[in-house]
């Protein structure tokens, strides 16, 4: 099955999913550009971004469809949240911390990356976290990267009651009860900056578009696994004929990867 869908005659922008995004920073604005771009290209109906003005300007230059909010604006209604990409917890100001905690405590599904991982223990709704090996180690209070990524992910998933997408080659999607789906890399060209931000955007779009199912059984893990697969399929299209790629290339090939999945 697929969690992707094409809009029907009765759909509108809200019924296709509303994704709230709190990503990027003055230091790392590109993470927000990549995540928002990706969410749109995966088929989301509505993206709302909370970010500093510089980040907003860069996102709007690339994706003018995006609705932008100041950091102190009320969060409002969204179907899912994408949090933390392109942020550093050591540089987090009180307004950002308050907004992240509000989103995590809202009960809406959350995809939590990078600079919000240290706050994830406060989540109130279905949650996916997307650590790389270094972040996975820190979540366990360790200094060294785990020798067994799947086992480390299982421990973190159980402790945090969250689905863990342990990024790497291969990537492991692990549920709190220990079920693990392992997804082989479609191309090692994904070893380039920003592709994790693209993956987070894919996951955000899938979960926001299927939020009514995100708390049911293994649905959240199934969405996460499909997001990893879709990310790999787009990367493989971008890297055809051994081409070097950038993260934005992966995002730009997502519509073709989505169409291929919907036609199966």
Counting beta carbons within 10 angstroms of the beta carbon of residue 65, is it exposed (0 to 12), middle (13 to 18) or buried (19 or more)? exposed
- Any domain includes 190: yes
Whether the upstream peptide bond of residue 154 has omega within 30° of 0, thus cis, is: no
- Any domain includes 32: yes
pTM: 0.97
**CA atoms of 152 and 140, how far apart (whole Å):** 8
Binding residues for AMP: 167-171, 196
The pLDDT, as a whole number, for residue 217 is: 67
**Over its length of 264 residues, how does the chain's per-residue pLDDT go in tens digits?**
899 999 999 999 999 999 999 999 999 999 999 999 999 999 999 999 999 999 999 999 999 999 999 998 876 789 999 999 999 999 999 999 999 999 999 999 999 999 999 999 989 999 999 999 999 999 998 888 888 999 999 999 999 999 999 999 999 999 999 999 999 999 999 999 999 999 999 999 999 999 888 777 689 999 999 999 999 999 999 999 999 999 999 999 999 999 999 998
The pLDDT, as a whole number, for residue 254 is: 98
The pLDDT, as a whole number, for residue 122 is: 85
Binding residues: 31, 86, 132, 167-171, 196-197
**CA atoms of 37 and 44, how far apart (whole Å):** 10
Range of the domain at 192: 18-262
- Any domain includes 11: no
- Any domain includes 28: yes
Dihedral class, residue 26 (left if φ above 0, else alpha if ψ from -120 to 50, else beta): alpha
Pairing state between β 67-69 and 80-83: unpaired
Binding residues for (6S)-NADPHX: 31, 86, 132, 197
- Any domain includes 253: yes
CATH assignment of the domain containing 232: 3.40.1190.20
Dihedral class, residue 88 (left if φ above 0, else alpha if ψ from -120 to 50, else beta): beta
**How many structural domains does the chain have?**
1
Other C-beta atoms closer than 10 Å to the C-beta of 13 total 13
- Any domain includes 1: no
* 69 three-class SS: strand
> Residue 232: enclosing H or E segment and its boundaries?
helix 219-238
What's the DSSP call for residue 146?
P
- Any domain includes 10: no
Question: Please, what is the Cα angle at 233 between 259 and 125, to 5 degrees?
Answer: 85
**CA atoms of 113 and 44, how far apart (whole Å):** 19
- Any domain includes 219: yes
The pLDDT, as a whole number, for residue 59 is: 98
Counting beta carbons within 10 angstroms of the beta carbon of residue 224, is it exposed (0 to 12), middle (13 to 18) or buried (19 or more)? buried
């Amino acid at each position: 099955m697929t969690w992707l869908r094409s809009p029907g005659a009765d759909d509108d922008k809200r019924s296709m999913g509303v994704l709230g995004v709190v990503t990027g920073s003055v230091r790392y604005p590109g993470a927000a550009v990549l995540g928002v771009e990706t969410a749109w290209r995966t088929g989301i109906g509505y993206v709302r971004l909370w970010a500093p003005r510089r980040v907003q300007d860069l996102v709007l230059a690339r994706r003018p469809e995006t609705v932008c909010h100041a950091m102190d604006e009320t969060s409002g209604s969204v179907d899912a949240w994408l949090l933390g990409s392109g942020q550093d917890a050591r540089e987090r100001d009180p307004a950002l911390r308050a907004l992240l905690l509000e989103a995590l405590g809202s009960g809406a599904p959350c995809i939590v990356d990078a600079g919000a991982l240290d706050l994830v223990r406060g989540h109130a709704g279905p949650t996916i976290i997307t650590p790389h090996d270094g972040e996975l180690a820190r979540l366990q209070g360790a200094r060294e990267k785990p020798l067994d990524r799947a086992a480390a992910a299982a421990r973190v998933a159980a402790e945090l009651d969250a689905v863990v997408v342990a990024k790497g080659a291969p990537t492991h999607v692990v549920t709190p009860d220990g079920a693990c789906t392992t997804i082989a890399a479609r191309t090692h060209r994904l070893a380039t900056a920003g592709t994790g931000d693209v993956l987070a955007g894919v996951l955000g779009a899938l979960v926001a578009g299927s939020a009514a199912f995100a708390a049911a059984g293994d649905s959240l893990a199934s969405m996460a696994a499909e997001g990893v697969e879709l990310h790999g399929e787009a990367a493989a299209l971008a890297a055809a004929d051994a081409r070097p790629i950038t993260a934005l290339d992966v995002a730009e090939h997502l519509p073709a990867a989505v169409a291929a999945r919907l036609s199966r």
